[in-house]
Chain A
Amino acid sequence: MNQAIRDKAKELLASGAVSCVIGYDVGSDGINARPFFAYTEEEADGLAFDQTCTHNLVKYLIDRAGKATAIVVKPCDARALTVLINEKQVKREEVFIIGAVCHGIIESTWGQKGSDLQGRCQTCTQHTPLVYDLLVGEPMAEPTPKAPLDHRAATLANMSVAERAAFWAEQFQRCLRCNACRQVCPGCYCAECFVDQLDPEWVGIRIDLPEKWLWNTIRAFHLAGRCVGCDECQRVCPVNIPLGLLNHKLEEEVATLFDFRPGVKADVPAPLETFKKDEKLGIGE
């Protein structure tokens, strides 16, 4: 697999088809992967893919607009890429997609090789990316049986509204408003995020629960029907707010209301940006 990625990367760089290959190499702890940019054939030898490649790299493509780029994607990353292509942030013809067959990403900590699959990967049924120019790895039979709901999601679903509100108050209370979740999210590419806007001032600059709450919920709404569940926000949150729970909940709502999963099909706009006369949402009825 690694060799296939390296060979292709070298070929693309040598021919000038792309000027950069975005992928992974082994991080400085010698175990966990980290994002890696190969600009030369020599650098391409560092490229690698394994079950620690947790990062979703597609957001880097936005800054490479106008420059042909190759990128290594997992199935979930590929869906995020399709979202960006649909939203005209990335041009399909500028990207060479190296799709990696994915067996799930494992929880890992610095300097240690983990063994358990990440929560999102336990419920994921996809092993092969939906879109690619080159597929690397041995294709697996799909889909594997879907694991039951993430245990935390199940607990939340069984709570009363008041209990849920208390749960989230406790979570959001920890928010530092550092915006790491936004910075890493492929869906968050606004020129000026609403939370930074002063005219109008949507969210006050105070660092207190109402502002934290507003920030996190509006961001979740902006991702409804767009979030592919890569859980990067949750991974980078320094205070471990389980943002994935919020996003997955909205993803399920959108799926039931509109029969839509983001990033599955090219050129199908997200439901919250289309208005159809015959749409019946069961809201207010």
Chain B
Amino acid sequence: MARIGVFVCHCGSNIAGTVNIAQVMAAAQTMPLVTFVADNKYSCSEIGQTAIREAILKQKLERVVIAACSPQMHEATFRKTVAQAGLNPYLLEIANIREHCSWVHSNDKAAATKKAIELVKMAVAKVARHEALFTKEIGLTKKALVIGGGISGIQAALDMANAGYPVILVEREPTIGGRMAQLDKTFPTLDCSSCILTPKMVEVAQHPNITLLTYAEVKSVRGFVGNFEVEILQRARKVDASKCTSCGICWQKCPEKIPAEFNLGLGPRAAIYTPFPQAVPNIPSIDLAHCRYIKYQEFVARGEEGKKPPQCRICERLCPPQAIDWEQSDQVLVEKVGAIVVATGYQTFDHTRYGEFGAGRYPDVITGIQLERLLSASGPTEGEVVRPSDGTHPKTVVFVSCVGSRDERMGRAYCSNVCCMYMAKQAILLKEHDPEVQSYIFYIDIRAGGKGYEEFIRRAQEEARAIYLRGRISHIYQDGKKLIVRGEDSLLGRPVEIAADLVVLATGIEPSAGAKELAQSLNISYDAHGFMVEAHPKLRPVESRTEGIFLAGTAIAPNDIPGCVAQGSAAAVKALAVLSRPSLVSDPMVAIVDPLRCTGCFACQRACAFNAIDSQVTRDGKTIAVVNESLCKGCGLCVSACRGVAMNLKGFSQQQLLAEVNALWR
């Protein structure tokens, strides 16, 4: 017969203020198998833990119930405590009399006390049926995967590679760099974006520890911390990277021109292209949707009547090293990694949803990121800021903030964090480009919390003479060559109307396309918008709730470059903390099959979301289920699916749960 000790925690006044501790202790004394009861002001404190350890030794306790806060909070702490006193750490049960009791029933002390007693009673009944459980050591792959090659992912990959661990960086575009590669200069220091980004991109490409896979996507992820198995789809570029010398003849001579995504349609690109001159890797890809030869092949394959389109193949004919490879096909690579960093970044809000801003009809209503391309010396206009409609130089520029941010109508309650700052930056840069430019910035509030940010706003106002108008824009319409911007100056409480040459919409930040689907395949949580959810918003900001999967950058929430870089490094450190361990410890609270009860129906296998159930053949020839302990997450779905009760969950066995229920009504 086990000797059970019960420790009731006051948690200062958190519990003791509502629950009558003395009554709980008195009741515990009478519970079956309980041989010792004590209270603690703070059980988790060093004094509290020592008291528990001493009691275990002195009272020869064999099982322990700690009635305190949620097991989420301190179960791990108390497992260590009892282990230090020589008990198996799993011979412990926590009765949550804080979150489940005192905090939610603070207005009814008598009822709260009664409930606390019942919770303790259940815990005592359960712990009496606990069994000693033992962890196992499992090996791990000391290699990391980074998904997304923007600045966040680049930083994470470099930090891990520099620490000596191999890294696979998967980027779905043909180049790494992400959105930062599109920016001209960066707030608040105005250093040129590519000048600080390009060296990092090159370092990635040249790093002996980094395998760079661009034009590639993660298809599926299986496994668990330390032992993930990832399927990566490497899309065909139709260019042999081992032969291509990046001479550029192909993309100069390719006759098929389409609007360049990288320049947001402000200039053309060829069907064979690199997104921008400093692309890494600098190997072109053939855009299959637009290449003439591919269209020709498709036409022939359809066997249609009529005139055949031209075969083209100019790139193939002109390529000096003959690098064009029409046979190249998509490939699926399978890689094993121990930790994953998700840095899939952002895209900007689709402003055409705003009818009042012209819904995309007016060519001279552009977005912030388009203005970045116009400002950039390597952009489509080589840094000359001109109106898309007629190529003239705009003199009056109106900025509209919070387009797709802080707007419940668009389902976007959140602030995009960077727009106030980049509008100020762009006003300064416009003035530098052309002193005659007058910028008007319509804002709701100015958010400039970062280091040196408030000073930067002042600079826009004082040096660049940007006029800040507080208020929302109600309407934009074209009047001849001008765009009439109507709004309200809410400080003066009167309507304003500005005849502008160019309107810049500060479109907000939203998660990249496909972020939700990726999160689903990784089994990590995401919020209503598709941003990845942190394990704890304050204390674990770069960890997902799935062990071994870490987060960085704008995939979590809108952020600026300094924030993204810091998160990239932070995620790298967290991942390194996994990779640098000699081995990992398995959680023993997993499912287990009773071979005598199992009929081999495999309901459990169909129910398991983690592919943790295999089959095995017993000596008498029966095929039955067996749990792969390293894949099992201990979720218990299989237990509920098994009618024959052959499946059980260690630490939450059916016997233990039923004992709890029975204790309640006995």
Binding site for B on A (CB under 8 A): 66, 87-89, 189-194, 197, 199-202, 222, 269-270, 272-275, 277
Q: Which of B581-620 contact A (CB under 8 A)?
A: 596-604, 606-607, 609
Q: How far does the alpha carbon of A274 sit from the alpha carbon of B601 in the complex, in Å?
A: 13
A-B residue pairs, 6 tightest by C-beta = A190-B644, A273-B603, A87-B601, A200-B658, A273-B641, A269-B606
Please encode chain B, from 423 to 457, with 1 for each CB lying within 8 Å of some chain A CB and 0 for all others: 00000000000000000000000000000000000
Q: Is the CB of A272 within 8 A of B641?
A: yes
Which of B520, B609, B621 is the one whose CB lies under 8 Å from A275?
A: B609
Indicate whether A87 sits within 8 Å of B643 (C-beta atoms), given known contacts A191-B596, A199-B655, A275-B637. no
Q: Is the CB of A274 within 8 A of B644?
A: no
Indicate whether A273 sits within 8 Å of B596 (C-beta atoms), given known contacts A194-B643, A197-B645. no
Which of B596, B599, B603, B658 is the one whose CB lies under 8 Å from A189?
A: B599
- What residues on B are CB-neighbors of A87 within 8 Å? 601-603
- What residues on B are CB-neighbors of A193 within 8 Å? 644
Q: Is the CB of B601 within 8 A of A192?
A: no
- What residues on B are CB-neighbors of A273 within 8 Å? 603-604, 606-607, 641
Which of A66, A192, A274 is the one whose CB lies under 8 Å from B597?
A: A192
Indicate whether A194 sits within 8 Å of B606 (C-beta atoms), given known contacts A88-B601, A189-B599, A199-B655. no
- Judge whether B623 is part of the interface by a CB distance below 8 angstroms: yes
Q: Is the CB of A190 within 8 A of B606?
A: no
Nearest to B520 among chain A residues (CB) is: A277
- What residues on B are CB-neighbors of A89 within 8 Å? 599-601
6 A–B contact pairs at CB < 8 A? A87-B603, A88-B602, A89-B599, A190-B644, A201-B658, A273-B603
Q: How far does the alpha carbon of A270 sit from the alpha carbon of B601 in the complex, in Å?
A: 12
Please encode chain B, from 508 to 542, with 1 for each CB lying within 8 Å of some chain A CB and 0 for all others: 00000000000010000000000000000000000
Q: Is the CB of B654 within 8 A of A190?
A: no
B133 → chain A closest CB, angstroms: 18
- Judge whether B646 is part of the interface by a CB distance below 8 angstroms: yes
B272 → chain A closest CB, angstroms: 40
Q: How far does the alpha carbon of A189 sit from the alpha carbon of B598 in the complex, in Å?
A: 10
Interface centre among B596, B603, B643 (most CB of A within 10 A): B643
Interface centre among A87, A190, A200, A275 (most CB of B within 10 A): A200
Q: How far does the alpha carbon of A194 sit from the alpha carbon of B654 in the complex, in Å?
A: 12
Nearest to B648 among chain A residues (CB) is: A200
- What residues on A are CB-neighbors of B599 within 8 Å? 89, 189-191
Q: How far does the alpha carbon of A194 sit from the alpha carbon of B596 in the complex, in Å?
A: 13
Indicate whether A274 sits within 8 Å of B607 (C-beta atoms), given known contacts A194-B644, A222-B643. yes
Indicate whether A275 sits within 8 Å of B654 (C-beta atoms), given known contacts A88-B601, A190-B644, A191-B599. no
Q: Is the CB of B597 within 8 A of A190?
A: yes
Q: How far does the alpha carbon of A199 sit from the alpha carbon of B596 in the complex, in Å?
A: 14
A188 → chain B closest CB, angstroms: 9
- What residues on B are CB-neighbors of A202 within 8 Å? 645, 658
- What residues on B are CB-neighbors of A201 within 8 Å? 658
Q: Is the CB of B623 within 8 A of A88?
A: yes
- What residues on B are CB-neighbors of A194 within 8 Å? 643-645
- What residues on A are CB-neighbors of B606 within 8 Å? 269, 273-274
Known: A200-B658, A269-B606, A273-B603. 4 other contacts (CB 8 A): A88-B623, A192-B597, A200-B659, A202-B658
Q: Is the CB of B646 within 8 A of A191?
A: yes
Q: How far does the alpha carbon of A68 sit from the alpha carbon of B135 in the complex, in Å?
A: 46
Interface centre among A88, A189, A192, A273 (most CB of B within 10 A): A273
Indicate whether A192 sits within 8 Å of B644 (C-beta atoms), given known contacts A87-B602, A89-B599, A200-B654. yes
Which of A66, A190, A200, A275 is the one whose CB lies under 8 Å from B655?
A: A200
Q: How far does the alpha carbon of A190 sit from the alpha carbon of B621 in the complex, in Å?
A: 17
A219 → chain B closest CB, angstroms: 10
Q: Is the CB of A275 within 8 A of B644?
A: no
Indicate whether A275 sits within 8 Å of B603 (C-beta atoms), given known contacts A192-B596, A222-B643. no
Please encode chain B, from 388 to 405, with 1 for each CB lying within 8 Å of some chain A CB and 0 for all others: 000000000000000000
Q: Is the CB of B607 within 8 A of A275?
A: yes
Q: How far does the alpha carbon of A115 sit from the alpha carbon of B401 in the complex, in Å?
A: 82
- What residues on B are CB-neighbors of A190 within 8 Å? 597, 599, 643-644
Q: How far does the alpha carbon of A66 sit from the alpha carbon of B599 in the complex, in Å?
A: 15
- What residues on A are CB-neighbors of B655 within 8 Å? 199-200
Please encode chain B, from 55 to 75, with 1 for each CB lying within 8 Å of some chain A CB and 0 for all others: 000000000000000000000
- What residues on B are CB-neighbors of A189 within 8 Å? 599
Nearest to A269 among chain B residues (CB) is: B606
- What residues on B are CB-neighbors of A222 within 8 Å? 643
- What residues on A are CB-neighbors of B602 within 8 Å? 87-88
Q: How far does the alpha carbon of A80 sit from the alpha carbon of B466 in the complex, in Å?
A: 78
Q: Is the CB of A88 within 8 A of B643?
A: no
- What residues on A are CB-neighbors of B600 within 8 Å? 88-89
- What residues on A are CB-neighbors of B598 within 8 Å? 191
A240 → chain B closest CB, angstroms: 26
Q: Which of B403-431 contact A (CB under 8 A)?
A: none
Q: How far does the alpha carbon of A191 sit from the alpha carbon of B644 in the complex, in Å?
A: 7
Q: How far does the alpha carbon of A191 sit from the alpha carbon of B598 in the complex, in Å?
A: 7
